[in-house]
Amino acid sequence: MRFHPAYHALMETSLAAGMHAAPWRRPGPGAHVARAAKFFMMSQVEAGHCCPVTMTFAAVPTLRHQPELAALWEDRITADSYDPRNVPADRKAALTIGMAMTEKQGGSDVRANTTQAFPVGREGPGQAYELVGHKFFVSAPMCDAFLTLAQTTRGLSCLLLPRWRPDGSKNPMQIQRLKRKMGNVSNASCETELRGALAWMVGEEGRGVRTIIDMVAMTRFDCLVGSSGGIRAATVQALHHCGQRSAFGKRLVDQPLMRNVLADLTLESEAATALSLRMARALDQEDDEGEALLVRLGTGLGKYWVCKRMAQHVAEAMECIGGSGVMEDSPMPRLFRESPVNAIWEGSGNIQCLDMLRAMHKTPAVIDAYFAEVDLARGGNAALDRHLASLRGDLADRRDPEFVARDLADRLALGLQASLLVRHAPDEVATAFCHSRLERRGQGQYGGLPRGTDCVRIIERGMPSESRQ
């Protein structure tokens, strides 16, 4: 595989900044928030390289299920440097990690995977296995090792699969073809045949899903943060263009209808960013039971809601820019092609909703943690108070939970965003968000903010500094 030099430059910049490892290498108050803020910014520069950054970051909690493997790998995974060479891991001071879970017959149902793991000698955690099978989506096959799932005699298990064997020979993990994706094209994905590839078991045998879910939780979190970054990038492009472009005798940003649309896009961006960074703060405080419960529910809600909102948001921003927005020499086509990726990767909308239901069923305290969080804004906005009262009633109705799961997920996510804005944003932002999102069930098109909304102040708050007049 050949990469543009800019890809390697971005990887070097991101890894030097600790975007792949800072909370693990230098844990402490605010470590996840600081790292998420960097990821939010870098995803606006180029989203494709963020995939291997994310997976390297997310692999550490899963690898720690097998301490002796973590001892061998973690220092080089979390090193603040980048080495793109395709050489054995023991010849590198810095490593990146990918993921290889999906098979063509299973998709999100990884328990249907058929790849087999055969013990080389002893069986069980930390032991060597040879893998035989096929992986339909291998994310970032240029990485040094991959976390994968395969069937053993005791069921689906998690394994660490390096590109090279310890003896210096290539591991038989053979790329069949690269995927031709509509977006995320700077990041390679491929189909791979495993022909006796050597790997080491991570965590308890037969409990592979439970082991790798720690990686999945972190990658879902980065989907949320990355889509928030994409929404911000689209907002900036629309605000900048409309702040400079004149039509019918005045700037677009000064025309009432466009002003309504731009303010609405800005609200969406601020709400997505607030939710992302609140989940980062919860990750920083997971020793607190309430914060851990909020992470369990809120990360999936945010991944579901914000990632799905990005596609419509980018399309509206392109419309604000007009014909120039669909030209391939502008940033917008790349943003648009990128916009559905995070909504699909690591579990599409239905998967996130089913996970929400699973969390509420197995750990009912997640709902208590949710309301403990959103009730901090109680009395701050009447629309939010009514929204939360309605949610409480509907959550108590146990009929057909899967059928109504998306409606509940929408409203839970909006309630959390609204609560954060009521507590932390200026009144004009919080009021406009609550009236437009909570009082009108079934959010319509952008540009439907009610009369009386202070669009000028909302836009000024979101406007990139170099575009302000």
pLDDT number for residue 104: 84
Task: Provide the 3-class DSSP secondary structure of residue 121.
Answer: coil
Instruction: Name the pTM for this structure.
Output: 0.94
> How many CB atoms neighbour CB 17 within 10 A?
18
Query: By the 8 A CB rule, do 268 and 238 touch?
Result: no
pLDDT number for residue 445: 85
Give Dmax over CA atoms of the chain in angstroms: 79
pLDDT number for residue 440: 74
Query: By the 8 A CB rule, do 353 and 305 touch?
Result: no
Query: By the 8 A CB rule, do 96 and 20 touch?
Result: yes
Topology given in CATH for the domain delimited by 5-206: Butyryl-CoA Dehydrogenase, subunit A; domain 2 (2.40.110)
Q: Which amino acid is at 336?
A: F
**Tens-level pLDDT at each residue, the chain (469 residues):** 789 999 999 999 999 999 999 999 999 999 999 999 999 999 999 999 999 999 999 999 999 999 999 999 999 999 999 999 999 999 999 999 999 988 887 677 777 888 999 999 999 999 999 999 999 989 899 999 999 999 999 999 999 999 999 999 999 999 999 999 999 999 999 999 999 999 999 999 999 999 999 999 999 999 999 999 999 999 999 999 999 999 889 999 999 999 999 999 999 999 999 999 999 999 999 999 999 999 999 999 999 999 999 999 999 999 999 999 999 999 999 999 999 999 998 889 999 999 999 999 999 999 999 999 999 999 999 999 999 999 999 999 888 999 999 999 999 999 999 999 999 999 999 999 999 999 875 557 899 899 999 999 999 999 997 665 5
Kindly report the backbone phi and psi dihedral angles of residue 54, in degrees, each rounded to the nearest multiple of 5, phi listed first.
Answer: -60, -50
Q: Do the domains spanning 5-206 and 211-467 agree at the CATH topology level? A: no
Q: How far apart are CA 400 and CA 135, in angstroms?
A: 35
Q: How far apart are CA 389 and CA 368, in angstroms?
A: 14
Q: How far apart are CA 407 and CA 367, in angstroms?
A: 16
Q: Does domain 211-467 have CATH number 3.30.470.20?
A: no
Domain layout of the chain by residue ranges: 5-206, 211-467
Helices (H), 158-287: 208-244, 256-284
